[in-house]
Amino acid sequence: MFTIMEPAQAAELIQDGAVIGLNSFVGTANPEKLHDAITERFRATGHPRNLTLVSSAGFGLFDPERGAENYIREGAVGRIICGHFGAMPSTKKLVLEDRFEAYNLPLGPMSHAMRAQAGGHDSYITKVGLGIFADPRIEGPGLNRISRDDTLVRVVEVEGEEYLRYRLPAFDIALIKATSVDAKGNISFEGEYSTIDALSIAQLTRRNGGRVIVQVDRVRSDFSRPRDIILPAVLVDVVVVCEPERDNEAFGTLSGDIHVPATHMQYWYHRLEKENAKSGKLRAGCEADIIGRRAAKELRRGDIINIGVGIPEKVSKYAAAAGILQDLTLSVESGGTGGLPAGGLEFGAMIGADAICDMSMQFDFYDGGGLDACFMGALEMDRFGNVNAHRGADQASGIGGFGNITAATKKVVFCFTFNTKGLQVTEEDGEVRIRQEGAIPKIVDKVRSISFSGPRAVQNGQQVLYVTERCVFALRPEGLALLEVYPGIDKRRDILARLPFPVLDETDNVQGR
């Protein structure tokens, strides 16, 4: 039988040393009020402490003063196992200061491991992660010097083939954000943008004899339709009711409360952009538009695609401008299919989605090669076509769904600038001009850490392009090839002279100079 409590009462149930399964996709479906209650209790009593936080998709809110960031920074956490640290500004820096153990696993295997272990299996076995940083023979999932747990990922062999085995710790507490609790204690998600791993987390916690705590927006006096229930009452121990603070009509397009036909997509997209502009989450600079416009040329009518965060978000803008958006099926790893991916603070949600499934089911589709193309960002690229998208010099953002998506998709298009920190680009009369080069190169001899393996992509027969603001590279069995040079760019001065290694030259003599 479930109990309705105040946030502070729920926080009292969390013991020192607890392993907490967190259900959220970055900032969406995030149980923020429960995080606040943990912070308040820790500040008042010094407890709970030595917590382990486990989250497949990450739980940051892009603000170091919100959510779990407070109690992480103040010392309540001893270990984090997470797919994505990117939305946690202070945490991803503290990781590299050895303030706590930190492990980064690909999002898909984490989601699938939760589901497998909830079903009584010991672990989850997959080829995702082979040849990249998560592979213990390359680096392993530990992000700092004190992170030495070798039980999370191991190489195993099945019938002569190599796989990685992922195993997560059992959960003592589940923290979940949903929309409603009905009179019997059943939980529905009608106002959320995705369900993520909610059911698997609740089942895994119950299997371990732990407590499932759910933050909801409202109590319903009627009974829900059975198919609308995500968490049956038998899995729920505590419900915390917190009325939502955000009440903007545009957010109804993400949960399905507002139907959005293809002709209205751009209108609602810009409405959400305005909301993000208030939080400073819009990206300026014409280089992103140049890259997005060129990358969008790789789209074909009928394609099923995934678009990553950052510069790749521009691809959907130019697909709409080209008039083919309505002939594409866009998807996001959180579970949405159809519609238009939202950006900024709402990354992971879909504007006008046709369907939203659990995240593990979306990764079933991705891992099976269901995507025709994906458009992803990159921090670095090297001579082998390897890409680092998860670890910078001074922060560890995490790989998220990148590892699964790029491992099995037929066409992989990376979208990133040639260099960064000071890069100034203009575009006039169809010609691109580099007014000032960035101080930090992004095309390097060897990437800092491998998120995507070029050699494995060649072995798998994938088509791989690297689109920048001045040129396009392609991955070949022999190595990288310069495929295109944009009008206005000097091929030797602006490209070849700035590469730390030679490339094949497949450019048309008419292009560049």
CA angle 306, 292, 256 (to 5 degrees): 45
- Residue where the block lists tokens 């060129």: 294
- Residue where the block lists tokens 């009584």: 120
353-to-23, 250, 322, 356 alpha-carbon distances in Å: 21, 14, 21, 7
User: Distance between CA 194 and CA 210 in Å, rounded?
Assistant: 24
Strands (E), 124-269: 124-126, 153-158, 161-166, 173-177, 180-181, 187-188, 211-216, 218-219, 229-231, 238-241
- Among residues 192, 333, 346, 380, the one annotated as catalytic is 333
Residues in the chain: 513
Burial of 427 (C-beta count, 10 Å sphere; 0-12/13-18/19+): middle
| The two three-digit tokens of residue 475, written as one number | 């991955």
Which letter, b or e, does each residue of 222-235 get, where b requires 16 or more Cβ atoms within 10 Å of its Cβ?
Answer: eebeeeebbbebeb
* Tally of CB atoms within 10 A around 327: 13
Q: How far is CA 192 from the centre of its chain?
A: 17
User: Distance between CA 92 and CA 46 in Å, rounded?
Assistant: 23
User: Distance between CA 94 and CA 99 in Å, rounded?
Assistant: 6
- The reply to whether 192 belongs to the active site is no
- Catalytic residue positions, numbered: 333
